[in-house]
Structure 1
Amino acid sequence: MKMFLISDNVDTCTGMRLAGVDGIVVHEREELSRTLEKVMTDSTIGIVLLTEKFGREFPEIIDEIRLNRKMPLIVEIPDRHGTGRRKDFITSYVNEAIGLKL
């Protein structure tokens, strides 16, 4: 299985390419939708990395895929400007997902 990056900036895409992850830079809603549709048809891609900006700006597109598809796994990553998440994001995410307080 491969990883694939969909980024909103060239710097993140370049950094991930140096790590061996192929990707594409998109800026518009339609570009994101088309790219995700194309990625969903590629059975060799197991993880899709998205910059957090897409999760903030187009949550309905991302949530629809997460709710209705098992593969690939969609993971939002921070870009070079850092993350907009709280420090305890992972803990609160696990608490919400499984209902246990860690």
Structure 2
Amino acid sequence: MKMYLISDNIDTLTGMRLAGVDGVVVHERNELRGAIENAMNDKTVGIILLTEKFGREFPDLLDEIKLERTMPLLIEIPDRHGTGRKKDFITSYVNEAIGLKL
């Protein structure tokens, strides 16, 4: 199985191509949906990497796809601008999940 990147910028795509990951750059919702569908129809793709910007801009689209399909796995990654999460997001996540303050 291979990985496939759907990015909102050429810099992230270039970096991933250096690591051997193919992909595409898209900007609009309909382009994103088409790129995801194309990647899902490719039986050799096991993981679709998406830059975090898509998760912030189109969460309903990504949630819909995640609920409908189990393969390939959709994973959001930080882009060249870094992560959009707070510094202590892991601690906050654990606190919410188990109800204990660390």
Per-residue deviation, residues 20-54 of structure 1 (Å, max 9, x unmatched): 10010001111001111111111111110000000
| 1:47 and 2:47 correspond | yes
- SS across alignment from 1:47: strand
Letter in 2 for 1:76: E
Shift in Å, 1:67: 1.2
Q: 1:91 to 1:20 in 2, by over 3 A?
A: farther
Shift in Å, 1:87: 2.6
Q: Which moved more, 1:16-25 or 1:85-94?
A: 85-94
Q: What are the ranges of 5 or more consecutive residues in structure 2 without an aligned counterpart? A: none
The match for 2:85 is 85
- SS across alignment from 1:36: helix
Percent of aligned pairs with the same residue?
73
Shift in Å, 1:100: 3.3
Q: Counterparts of 2:93 and 2:69 in 1: how far apart (Å)?
A: 20
TM-score, normalised by the number of residues in structure 2: 0.87
| 1:60 and 2:60 correspond | yes
Shift in Å, 1:95: 6.3
- SS across alignment from 1:80: coil
Q: What are the ranges of 5 or more consecutive residues in structure 1 without an aligned counterpart? A: none
Letter in 2 for 1:43: K
Aligned length, in residue pairs: 100
The match for 1:29 is 29
Quick check: which has more Rg, 1 or 2? Answer: 2
TM-score, normalised by the number of residues in structure 1: 0.87
The match for 2:19 is 19
**Where do 4+ consecutive residues of structure 1 move more than 2 Å?**
87-96, 99-102
The RMSD of aligned alpha carbons is 1.7
